[in-house]
Structure 1
Amino acid sequence: MKKHLIVAAVIAAAFAAALSSFLLFSPADRDGGMDAQPAAEALPVRDTSHRLTEPDKSELTVVEFLDFECEACGAMYPVMEKLREEYGGRVTFVARYFPMPGHRNGDLAARTAEAAARQGKFEEMYTKLFTTQKEWGESQEWKQSVFRGYAKQLGLNMVRFDTDLADPEVAGRVQNDQSDGLGLGVQSTPTFFVDGTKIQTPGSYEAFKALIDDRLSN
């Protein structure tokens, strides 16, 4: 029980820090920094969205708008991994990009994941970026060389990776996720949608599990 309380406290503190950082920006600054506008017909998930699980018969869809550099997202990562392991056969878990202004490498990390996705390695890069977040996050230095190192570790074709990383279509793919998020009222990360409805982010694994169990039982 004590361990669970500590984990919940860490997650709550990370959420508070991320939200405080976000609120330093006005809506105009936020949109401009993202270089994206709200989608006219915003959707929580699209056919092209990255699915971390694909059950044969999905009973529920959980979508996370995330920023790989966001500390609150990093705190939620092990929670989501545990939920994904437990419910992957019944629930579709979806990851969507929402890099926040003020994070020097948030957009670059998203483009890195998308470039990896073009070689069938989205999940591997998603995992790599979150498990190494403390090594590169919250830095004012450009971390492209670090991310290239991750790409090499994952065995990606580096010529193609570099080309894709600079491809405007990859940047556009990230912006499309941001546009959907903005259109859906996403204002901070992580923001979750369960079967299309935005929810208040649960503060612990137990709380998120209870929410999923409740939805699955109805």
Structure 2
Amino acid sequence: MSSPDSAISQKQIEEAFSETTSLQTGLAEDEMKERLRLDLENQIKIKTFQTRLQELRNRTGIEIYLSEPEPPLIRISDEGPSSGSPSSPVTIVEFSDFQCPFCKRASETVRELARLYDGKVRIVFKHFPLSNHPDAFKAAQASVCADEKGKFWEYHDRLFNSQNLSDESLRKIAADIGLETKDFNACLESSRSKEQVMKNIQEGRKIGIQGTPFFTINGRPVRGAQDISEFRRIIDRQLAGER
């Protein structure tokens, strides 16, 4: 049952549903709206908890000397399409699915983080298409092909903004951004693009990923489309030299 603080209105659910219409293939409308409601409630609960905790500290003058316990670090390769300098002090590894509405929302958060921490954060993308998203695997393959031609991020943005992830649409997006049709089509049907996606999926499974989006920030896990404040909290600690 939702607490009063975390209750989500039907209007909020409908607005979130409307924003993610293009990514709902494979899910019944009721199921999609329930997932959106739970995700929105979780974000509010986290924000409310953090706000009230800070208010309590300010009101009582409590000083905390113990460090907050950190979850175990996750060791994962930083191979994959990336933006930002390899020498950046913070690396965010993102496991995502192009047909996942929460991943689309998270991609906007990641874009904002890259802007806020320009020169300090590197973003690495890995594929984790979910089995209940019928167009996600092929879309991931298509982005691998775009990456081979140095156009991953442009293709990535087009996929998340597309109203259609059909095979025809994947090829049209490729042509629209200037990819040579013959080469792209050959890559899309090749085993190498499939193998690259499967490699990422296997990496994700080894560290226990079951849903998307999933992130590591210098090895620290962040699950789901969290509010940007949670990402900033971890990034700021890393930049301050905490380990």
For the aligned residue pairs, the C-alpha RMSD in angstroms reads 2.7
Contact persistence 1:43–1:180 (CA under 8 A) = no
Distance 1:216 1:15, change over 3 A: farther
Distance 1:85 1:188, change over 3 A: same
After superposition, the C-alpha distances for 1:161-207 in whole angstroms (9 at most, x for unaligned) are 00000110110000000000000111100011111232344621222
Distance 1:187 1:16, change over 3 A: farther
Contact persistence 2:105–2:225 (CA under 8 A) = no
Offset, 1:136: 2.1
- Verify: 1:199 aligned to 2:222, yes or no: yes
Partner of 1:52: 83
After superposition, the C-alpha distances for 1:9-32 in whole angstroms (9 at most, x for unaligned) are 959x989728x9xxxxxxxxxxxx
Partner of 1:108: 138
Q: Which has the higher contact order (CA 8 A, sep 6+)?
A: 1
- Verify: 1:172 aligned to 2:195, yes or no: yes
User: Structure 1-normalised TM-score?
Assistant: 0.74
Contact persistence 1:14–1:71 (CA under 8 A) = no
Q: Secondary structure at the residue paired with 1:83? A: helix
Offset, 1:130: 1.2
Question: What is the one-letter code of the residue matched to 1:187?
Answer: Q
Give the Cα separation in 2 of the matches to 1:131 and 1:64.
18
Distance 1:215 1:16, change over 3 A: farther
After superposition, the C-alpha distances for 1:101-151 in whole angstroms (9 at most, x for unaligned) are 01110001100100111111111111111122xx126xxxxx010111100
- Verify: 1:17 aligned to 2:35, yes or no: yes
Give the Cα separation in 2 of the matches to 1:14 and 1:209.
28
Q: Which of the pair has more CA radius of gyration?
A: 2
Give the Cα separation in 2 of the matches to 1:105 and 1:146.
11
Q: Unaligned 5+ residue runs, structure 1?
A: 1-5, 21-41, 138-142
User: Structure 2-normalised TM-score?
Assistant: 0.67
Offset, 1:213: 1.2
Contact persistence 1:14–1:72 (CA under 8 A) = no
Q: What percent of counterpart residues are identical? A: 25
